A and B are shown apart, each in its own frame.
Chain A
């Protein structure tokens, strides 16, 4: 029986022996590729982290190759193809493509692709619009970011609105007001570590280093994410030459609270 997905996509995932049909004894009645979808996604973004295997364009080739296969699967209209699942895979892949484009500096194509995703998947309108707004700010187009925020503000929760307002004010250089918005987001949801981190960043820009460190240390009690620790360590180094003891305190916290074997300790800069 012909495999569901034709052609080669470099991962050798299209070879017959990587399809369930090749093993009717072990997987009776099952159809399609044995290679998990998430592994294909990881394979497609590998070149982004390794320029020797293609860099951005290598990753885009792989990702668009997967999009082609998904489109073919939808067009084939085979009874065992779960259309909703394929559409969900395609959407997640296109989101990944948009991220790759944004990461390479191609903000305009990334925004265009996110607009298409928003149109085809209205249930993702809010998170995709939020992502677009941040991309607009990243490239300095505050006006378009504000316009898009005005378009979606009726669909935002109060907490989401405060977060967006905070980003807008950071783009405008109004750190004091941005801090107020992030603080309100934390009041609405004390578990919102991101708002707490962003508020702490605003405090630094206001010259309140001590308060910023205290806020970061508060966030560490709820999350030991490497990004958060990276920020905190940077501020320890800014405050004092004797920051090593504080870093070791963080190390103690990590080893006592998490499954630390795979933890990226380089974020502590010890």
Chain B
């Protein structure tokens, strides 16, 4: 609401603005009494007539009476800025061709909120009459903004008069979003998004969705198997609290394409929708989230096939894939090293030439292992030498297996 409207500044018309935040229920602590108290009956009578108290639970301060907004409040990015603009004829003369135009000036642009062509809203406004409108605008920029209200009219002398009023306000950030990427040994990518509520009131998170880029598919890991949210009964973030959301990203690229990708990759955008005071809506979309792709290395060793579970003394086979990510031919020699006190024993040749691997291609090799003890065991160290360049590659751990009892 305009704070200093002592007069209409010499003009026949006055302009007033009220920011329309959602109506609120103002708490009211009633004076309580018991029949046995002094003046108890009278106080109980007053309490029963009090329109802000709730019958049967008079102590509860939040009744049913709504109140209109009393101050400008704070405006947050992603919310809708609504205002009631009223132009009143405060004079004793009838004015003509009244035009009300509202614009919003941000740091980067000026945009019309109503009446962009400046058409007259009414041809005639008699004394005591008013024109008004409700303007709505989705706030998309942070920082200082200016609501500019321009009123023009023609007075009885035929003079065209105009005045302008400015209302400055600040758009604040409602959420702080931080993201982290985690990549597992199996090349699975997880995105953790930490969302902090930086407003002074609780926010009910309606939706937090990762819209992936064309390079990935995304799996939302924020729901339990029965569809219930992992946040359980708590469905709103308190001021200064942080919630963590988790998503699994699966690259759509083939292994060859992956090995050629270096540098930064666009993962997608977070789309966040929330509700606050009495259903005040807000929505933000993050900028494109970027992930730095680490270079894979010349020779990538992955486990292609391994049993989920094996019993002790039951020989099994592991398939290792040796991928040459370079543009040169490799001729590889393999050395298998057993870890001390390991429960797994390599079967067969532990030193052998495995053969040639063409550029940007792979070779699968089968290795036999005999488990001799139960437990979770590392497969063992693998050393590979490129016979062409004499370069050695060591892989201390390519995988693990659970060995049960016989």
Residues of A within 8 A of B (CB): 36-39, 41-42, 45, 48-49, 92-93, 95-96, 98-99, 102-103, 105, 107-108, 123-124, 127-128, 130-131, 134-135, 137-142, 144, 163, 167, 170-173, 193-194, 197-198, 201, 204-207, 209-210, 223, 225, 227-228, 230-231, 234-235, 237-242
Contacts and interface: CB of A to CB of B under 8 A. Distances in A.
Given A37-B34, A131-B54, A234-B1, A137 B67 contact: no
Taking residues whose C-beta sits less than 8 angstroms from the other chain, chain B's interface range is 35 or more
Interface string B127-146: 00010111000000000000
Contact of A131 (B60, B68, B203): B60
Contacts of A92: 32, 57-59
B37 interface: yes
Interface string B1-42: 100011110000010101010110111110111101100100
B52 interface: yes
Interface in B55-113: 55-68, 70, 84, 86, 88, 90
B176 to A, nearest CB: 19
Contacts of B27: 99, 102-103
A197 B66 contact: yes
Given A137-B279, A240-B88, A235 B59 contact: no
Given A105-B239, A201-B67, A231-B67, A99 B22 contact: no
A105 B200 CA distance: 9
A227 B275 contact: no
B54 A130 contact: yes
A199 B23 CA distance: 12
Given A99-B62, A103-B27, A128-B57, A108 B233 contact: yes
B377 interface: no
B201 interface: yes
B406 to A, nearest CB: 53
A171 B202 contact: no
B60 A98 contact: yes
Given A170-B279, A201-B68, A234-B18, 12 more contacts: A45-B29, A107-B202, A127-B56, A138-B277, A139-B204, A139-B277, A141-B235, A207-B84, A210-B130, A227-B26, A238-B1, A241-B8
Nearest to B200: A105
A211 to B, nearest CB: 11
A99 B60 contact: yes
B50 interface: yes
Contacts of A102: 27, 61-62
Contacts of A172: 279
B204 A141 contact: yes
A95 to B, nearest CB: 5
Given A95-B59, A171-B278, A239-B86, A194 B233 contact: no
B238 interface: yes
B223 to A, nearest CB: 15
Contacts of A135: 62
Contacts of B132: 207, 209
Contacts of A167: 64
Interface of B: 1, 5-8, 14, 16, 18, 20, 22-23, 25-29, 31-34, 36-37, 40, 49-52, 54-68, 70, 84, 86, 88, 90, 130, 132-134, 201-204, 206, 233-236, 238-239, 274-281
Given A108-B236, A141-B236, A95 B60 contact: yes
Contacts of A48: 29
A96 B62 CA distance: 10
Contacts of B279: 137, 140, 142, 170-173
A241 B66 contact: no
Nearest to B203: A140
Most buried by B among A134, A163, A235: A134
Nearest to B55: A127
Contacts of B32: 38, 41-42, 92
Contacts of A223: 49, 51
Contact of B70 (A201, A234, A241): A234
Contacts of A194: 51, 63-65
Given A99-B60, A140-B236, A227-B28, A204 B37 contact: no
Contact of A207 (B26, B28, B134, B234): B134
B34 A38 contact: yes
27 contacts: A45-B29, A92-B57, A99-B62, A103-B61, A105-B238, A123-B56, A131-B57, A135-B62, A139-B202, A140-B275, A141-B204, A142-B279, A167-B64, A170-B22, A193-B51, A194-B63, A198-B66, A205-B20, A209-B130, A223-B51, A225-B52, A227-B26, A228-B65, A237-B16, A240-B130, A241-B7, A242-B90
A133 to B, nearest CB: 11
Contacts of A170: 22-23, 66, 278-279
